[in-house]
Amino acid sequence: MKEFLNRFNLTLIIVCYSAIVLALYEQLHIYVVLFGVLCACWRGAHFFGWIALMPRFLLSAVAIATSALTVGLLYQQGVFNIMLHLIFLGFSLKFLELRSTRDVYFFVNTGFILIALFFIFNTSIVATLVASFLLLLLFAILLSLHAQRLVKNAYLTLLFKSCLLSLPLAIVLFVVMPRLPSLWKMPIQKQATTGLSDTVSPGEIAKLSRSSALAFRATFSDVIAPESERYWRAMTLDNFDGRTWSQSTSLKQEESMAKRGGGRQFYQTKNAEQPKSEYELIIEPHYNYWLPVLDYALTPTGLVSLSDYSLRSDKPVIARQAITVAQTSAVKTQPLTANQIRQFTQLPERKSALGNDRTDAWIAENLSNGLSKESILAQLLNGFSESFRYTLEPPRLGEKQIDDFLFNSQAGFCVHFASSYLYVARRLGFPARMVTGYLGGEWQASEGFFTIRQYDAHAWVEIWRENRWQRVDPTAYVAPERVESGLQAALTDGNEFLADEYFSLQKWQSVELINLLRGRLAQMDYLWARYVVNFDNQSQVKLMQRWLSKIPWLKLAYAVMLVMAIIFAALLLIIFKPWQVNKITIEDKIYLQLQGHFNKQGMKREAGQSVSEYCLLLSKTFLLSDSLCQSFALKYNAIKYQTRQTKGQRKKQIKQLIFISKQLTKR
């Protein structure tokens, strides 16, 4: 085994290390990333001969210090994060002290584990491509240790060949290997939730509007919900403290009880109507419990519904998750209890610091003018459509938010409109609540699914009239385009859309090519998520049954073994190419002819006998001329092994060999 590394090895190792640091950048603490960059710099400087490798004792000291620091820094972020960081530290330290090939094996194996951890966080197709590239780099390092003499082309060919040849068997294994259930509970990473949170104050949704990150995708099995019905409900908020809308304690209690399997789940059995249609959701991880659904969703297995028609998962969505939801058009309702009415008309105290006096005065004035409660609400909506402006960058509101918005700024986005409408409705005595979720989505025509991104986040109002919850979307009155064709259309100033994401492909929707590219990418990613990332036991069994039903006599186990055997045989064929017969050189041909001649006369060449030995035996057995036999062996060896012979010399020698052979076989 080689005990030192050459420059090519080192170059590859440094590149690979830097690439892995870059790939894991988002998951690592900033200090740890800095440490990684420092390691790469040190190694790079060493590569150019500017500094020596770190001495042993210093390295040990650094190892202890950094691990202690990491544990201290990440103490609160849970076991998983500490594990990830410690593995990464080990990887970096090994990288710093790399000297011999043994270290390189350790480095590469740790690299594999880091790639796996990378997959825990990222499962999109782009992430997979990145990981494949990293894997290829790691393999390249291994190969570079052993293929010193290979030229660049042969090196690359071998690398890609071995990877490509491994793919078919890997795919078969992936498809047929049964998936085991989790063997034990693993710590999960504690991560800040993304997307909607369970409180809403003006500003939060505006923040989301600046993100083009994917929230989820939806595929409808038959009937596609019309535009005006694509309100994806995530949760309802029924408590208002003058600034922020949040969930009341009773709602929270209900949710926690429902998650434990008890609690009040709305209707379920009460409704005898057949489900209207089904749709499949593939939800990006948001580290929260809510699942966006259209009105009204029947509870899928393994999930729970709440009385506000929203759907919850019993554990946070930490990885891409696929669920199928059945939809129904109507639900039976029960009249609200007194408690509920109190909760749904709750407002901060009048005349308090956060009280909205002007709004209250405006309501009182209208009431005294003899207007009905209904018409006051209608007037408010009219006002929205007449003089209000929809913008993602509204002026800052004062302490009395509703007053300030309704009578001063008159510019804002969904939360502002929903919030003030709710305030007025509750003041008038209507039970009402705020619903947050997503609105609309982008239709991917080629694949037939919707992509719903964070900027589709929306807030609207539900108001209790005629013994049921009715949806009112105040935003629709100020910016109907927002409902019909998405956020970008609703904004008059194009710069507001995704103001912070300069590099986002969404921002450049007008460029045809980029649009096409974006569509392709989204489509591939969707297929990837649907068929690969969420390929579970169920779909496995389904797939197998479908295939096997075509060949009824084949048992499952046999089929699996057969496919594997076929692939293995193909691998053997491709690698060894048995159809390529070794080209026999002229001298070998003559030698074989000679052997054949004497074979007929009863002398076989033993295995492993050299030419000279054979010729010696020949002369002994058949009493041939000793010198002739010897000269045959000499000529043969000369042709075969002599270095630096010109073509002319070779030709001459072959002629001589033929002559000798003829002399020998003359008898």
Partner 1 sequence: MLRKFIKNRFNQWLKRRMPATKVITLNSGNTFIFPSKSGLHFLISCALLFLLGTNYQNNLILFLVFFLCSFMITCLLLSYQNLAGLTLNAVTPDAQFAARDSLFKLRLTEGKVCAQDVSFSFQHPSSALQTVIEKDSVALYGFSKQRGYYNPGRVTVRSTFPFGLFNVWTHLDFGFNALLYPHPFENKFQVESASNNAQENSHYQSIVGVDQFSTLKTYQPGESLKSVAWKQLAQGRGWYSKQFEQSAGGDVLLDINSLTHLPLETRLSFLCYQIIELQKTHQRYALKLNSEPTKVGSGITHNQQCLSALALFALPISKVQEPKTQKYENQDTGKAQ
Rule CB under 8 A: choose which of 37, 73, 86, 147 binds partner 1.
Answer: 147
Which of the residues 323 through 382 are near partner 1 (CB under 8 A)? none
Rule CB under 8 A: choose which of 41, 58, 116, 527 binds partner 1.
Answer: 116
Assess whether the previous peptide bond of 287 is cis (omega < 30° from 0): no
Q: SS3 for 49?
A: coil
Query: Which residues, in sequence order, are CB contacts of 583 under 8 Å at separation 6+?
Result: none
Rule CB under 8 A: choose which of 71, 517, 570, 575 binds partner 1.
Answer: 575
- Terminal-to-terminal C-alpha distance of the chain: 55
How far is it, in rounded angstroms, from Cα 110 to Cα 615? 58
How far is it, in rounded angstroms, from Cα 418 to Cα 413? 9
Q: Which two tokens stand for residue 665?
A: 């076989």
User: Within 10 Å of residue 178's Cβ, how many Cβ atoms?
Assistant: 7
Nearer to partner 1, 80 or 220 (CB): 80
Under rule CB under 8 A, residue 622 binds partner 1: no
Nearer to partner 1, 151 or 338 (CB): 151
How far is it, in rounded angstroms, from Cα 145 to Cα 305? 58
Rule CB under 8 A: choose which of 37, 150, 499, 560 binds partner 1.
Answer: 150
The interface mask with partner 1, positions 233-272, x = CB under 8 A, is ----------------------------------------
Which of the residues 628 through 667 are near partner 1 (CB under 8 A)? 640-641, 643
Sheet hosting strand 468-472, strand order edge to edge: 231-237, 432-439, 457-465, 468-472
Under rule CB under 8 A, residue 153 binds partner 1: no
CB of 132 to partner 1, least distance (A): 9
Q: Which of 610, 607, 605 is nearest to 595 (CA)?
A: 605
Rule CB under 8 A: choose which of 186, 378, 554, 586 binds partner 1.
Answer: 186
Nearer to partner 1, 135 or 548 (CB): 135
How far is it, in rounded angstroms, from Cα 230 to Cα 224? 9
Under rule CB under 8 A, residue 558 binds partner 1: no
Under rule CB under 8 A, residue 572 binds partner 1: yes
Nearer to partner 1, 108 or 237 (CB): 108
Contact range with partner 1 by CB under 8 A, out of 59-67, 176-184, 273-281, 411-419 = 176-184
Whether residue 298 contacts residue 325, with contact meaning beta carbons closer than 8 Å, is answered with yes
Under rule CB under 8 A, residue 4 binds partner 1: no
Burial 566-575 (b: 16+ CB within 10 A, else e): ebeeeeeeee
- As beta bridge partners, residue 291 has 311
Rule CB under 8 A: choose which of 6, 60, 157, 162 binds partner 1.
Answer: 162
Rule CB under 8 A: choose which of 368, 580, 600, 666 binds partner 1.
Answer: 580
Under rule CB under 8 A, residue 544 binds partner 1: no
User: Within 10 Å of residue 420's Cβ, how many Cβ atoms?
Assistant: 24
Under rule CB under 8 A, residue 9 binds partner 1: no
Under rule CB under 8 A, residue 220 binds partner 1: no
Nearer to partner 1, 179 or 351 (CB): 179
AA letter at 575: I
Rule CB under 8 A: choose which of 19, 33, 69, 163 binds partner 1.
Answer: 163
Q: Which two tokens stand for residue 212?
A: 């083009």
The interface mask with partner 1, positions 599-618, x = CB under 8 A, is ----x--xxxxx--x---x-
- What is the number of alpha carbons within 13 Å of residue 32 lying toward its C-beta? 32
Under rule CB under 8 A, residue 112 binds partner 1: yes
Rule CB under 8 A: choose which of 61, 71, 173, 554 binds partner 1.
Answer: 173
Whether residue 437 contacts residue 375, with contact meaning beta carbons closer than 8 Å, is answered with no
Which of the residues 262 through 321 are near partner 1 (CB under 8 A)? 319
Under rule CB under 8 A, residue 113 binds partner 1: yes
- As beta bridge partners, residue 311 has 291, 305
AA letter at 323: I
AA letter at 305: S
Whether residue 444 contacts residue 526, with contact meaning beta carbons closer than 8 Å, is answered with yes
Under rule CB under 8 A, residue 179 binds partner 1: yes
Rule CB under 8 A: choose which of 5, 14, 115, 258 binds partner 1.
Answer: 115
How far is it, in rounded angstroms, from Cα 309 to Cα 235? 8
Under rule CB under 8 A, residue 30 binds partner 1: no
Contact range with partner 1 by CB under 8 A, out of 25-33, 364-372, 382-390, 529-537 = 529-537
